[in-house]
Structure 1
Amino acid sequence: MTAPSTSQVVALLLAAGASRRFGSDKRLARLDDGRPLLGTCLANARSAFADVRVVLRVDDQPAALGIAPDTPVIRSAQAHLGMGHSLAAGVRALADSPAEAVAILLADMPWLQVDTLVQLAARASAQHIVLPLCDGHRGHPVIIGRHFWPMLEMLSGDQGARAVVAAHPQAWICVPCNDRGTLLDADTPTALSQALRAHPA
């Protein structure tokens, strides 16, 4: 059941990358228990948030990626130019959302714990940027208040929300956690293998 505290947050799952470093479509890569990478990230997000939207490339087929028909999909026509373009397209498509903040989720971080997502969302507000803090390191996802959305809509290149977050440290709320999934991604096959050894299913 979705926690009531997450209703003020819309989740944006960025899954429009070209997987160049991975060498194949990492969204379909399998975890040790056979679950697909993207499918696992989406399932985790939907367990924590009432409103989850997935950003894809224009030519992606959601069904082929294991995305359920009832999942809202946002198309990024400039996804090939970098994550910043995908994030900007995703945020621009949220104009109809009443949410106070957006959780920016990456499609290669399947080890995030649902409880962590709920805890982060509980601290969200329109004026704040919420980040998990694990072992002294800031991790993902980042939840960005609506006040900062116009800045996200202007992003380009491959830096994502990093510049917006870095420019507003006074707005940060860092939430301590023990969730190593906030620091583990599967950017390359080697990274996936290492993460699976460190955090088996």
Structure 2
Amino acid sequence: MTSDTVSDLPIILLAAGQSRRMRGADKLLEEVDGLPLLRRQAELASAVTTGPVLVALPPAPHPRYRSLDALAVDRVPVADADEGMNASLRTAFAALPRGAPAAMLLLADLPELTKEDLRVVLQAIDLKPEALIWRGATEDGKPGHPIVFAAPLFEAFASLQGDGGGREVVAKAGSRVALIPLPGQHARRDLDTPEDWAAWRAERAARNSR
């Protein structure tokens, strides 16, 4: 895979979940860096590829669509989003352009990920030609996101059911998974409850005040 190919890989952004643990709020519309989190993540994805950015969303109408106004991303409604994450994966991978050699999968609820993190994972693809998956990891080696899947794995997403989050596809790759260390807990730090958000914002304010 050449560096030219890496620069135009499609990126899938998963944003069809229901934020059930937020008790009425929507975690993907919480503000991060002055933007709704979903828009921030979509802008990150758009900044690192010249390929399409596909955003898996609940069926319209939904407030998340407004947060993407004027962004050149492909909105991909997931008709059966209530089923769980695998419905989003089935739908989004089916919407990929034909002939894509690989695709990056990015969760919308990881607010510490940066453009540089995404680029580091994309650039690592050339370094592990025997791999089928290139996956961001925490600084202590725990696997997380983003994840790049090579095209031979795309078909496996078509039969996913439930809320496994694609773990079955990762398992199919066996040892052919390259972990790419990212700073801190960028690859795994998600915020699912109001308490998570409050704690994260307090941590961030403390870091910025030093």
What TM-score do you get using the length of structure 1 for normalisation?
Answer: 0.87
1:48 aligns with 2:52: no
Counterpart for residue 90 of structure 2: 88
1:128 aligns with 2:139: no
Counterpart for residue 115 of structure 1: 116
| Structure 1 residues 14-29: aligned runs within 5 Å | 14-23=14-23, 24-29=25-30
1:37 aligns with 2:41: no
1:74 aligns with 2:60: no
| Structure 1 residues 150-169: aligned runs within 5 Å | 150-169=155-174
Runs of 4+ in 1 over 6 A off after TM superposition: none
Counterpart for residue 103 of structure 1: 104
1:189 aligns with 2:201: no
Flag structure 1 segments of 5+ consecutive residues without an equivalent.
Answer: none
Task: Please give the alpha-carbon distance, in whole angstroms, between the structure 2 residues aligned to 1:18 and 1:110.
Answer: 17
Give the superposition deviation at 1:74.
1.0
Give the superposition deviation at 1:129.
0.4
Contact 1:101 1:143 survives alignment (8 Å): yes
Asked which structure has the greater CA Rg, the reply is 2
Task: Please give the alpha-carbon distance, in whole angstroms, between the structure 2 residues aligned to 1:193 and 1:150.
Answer: 40
Going from structure 1 to structure 2, the CA distance change for 1:69 and 1:141 (only over 3 Å counts) comes to closer
Task: Please give the alpha-carbon distance, in whole angstroms, between the structure 1 residues aligned to 2:141 and 2:70.
Answer: 36
What TM-score do you get using the length of structure 2 for normalisation?
Answer: 0.83
Task: Work out the number of aligned pairs and report it.
Answer: 197
Give the AA of the match of 1:6: V
Identity %: 29
Contact 1:185 1:192 survives alignment (8 Å): no
Give the AA of the match of 1:123: A
Give the AA of the match of 1:192: W
